[in-house]
Structure 1
Amino acid sequence: MRPHRRSLLAGTAALLAAGSARAQDAELDLTGRFVQGGHAIGRTWPRALVFVDGESLTAASADGVFIVGFDRDSPSSVEIVARSGDRSARRVLDVAPGDFPSTRVDGLPPATVEPSDPALLERIRREVLLKTEGFASRVDADSFRDGFDWPLEQFRVTSRWGAQRVLNGTPARPHYGIDLAAPQGTPIRAPAAGRVTLAEPALHFEGGLVLIDHGQGLITACLHQSELDVIAGQDVLRGQTIGRVGMTGRATGPHLCWRMKWRDRNLDPSLLVKKT
Structure 2
Amino acid sequence: MHFATSTLLALAGMASAQTVHVVSVSGEGDWKLKFSPDNIKAPVGDMVQFQFRAGNHSVVQSSFDSPCAPMAQAAGSNSTGFYSGYMDVAASEAMGMIPTYTVMVQDEKPMWVYCSQGKHCQAGMSMVINENPTANASRTLDAYRQAASAVPASSAGGDTSAGDAGTTTPDTGAGGSTGGDSTSGGSTSGGSTSGGDSTSGGDSTSGDDSTSGGSTSGGSTATPAGDTDASTSSSPVQVAGASSVAVSSSMGLIGLAAAFFLL
Which range, TM-score by smaller chain?
under 0.3
Higher relative contact order (CA 8 A, sep 6+): 2
Name which one, 1 or 2, has greater alpha-carbon Rg: 1
Higher helix share: 2
TM-score normalised by L of structure 1: 0.22
TM-score normalised by L of structure 2: 0.23
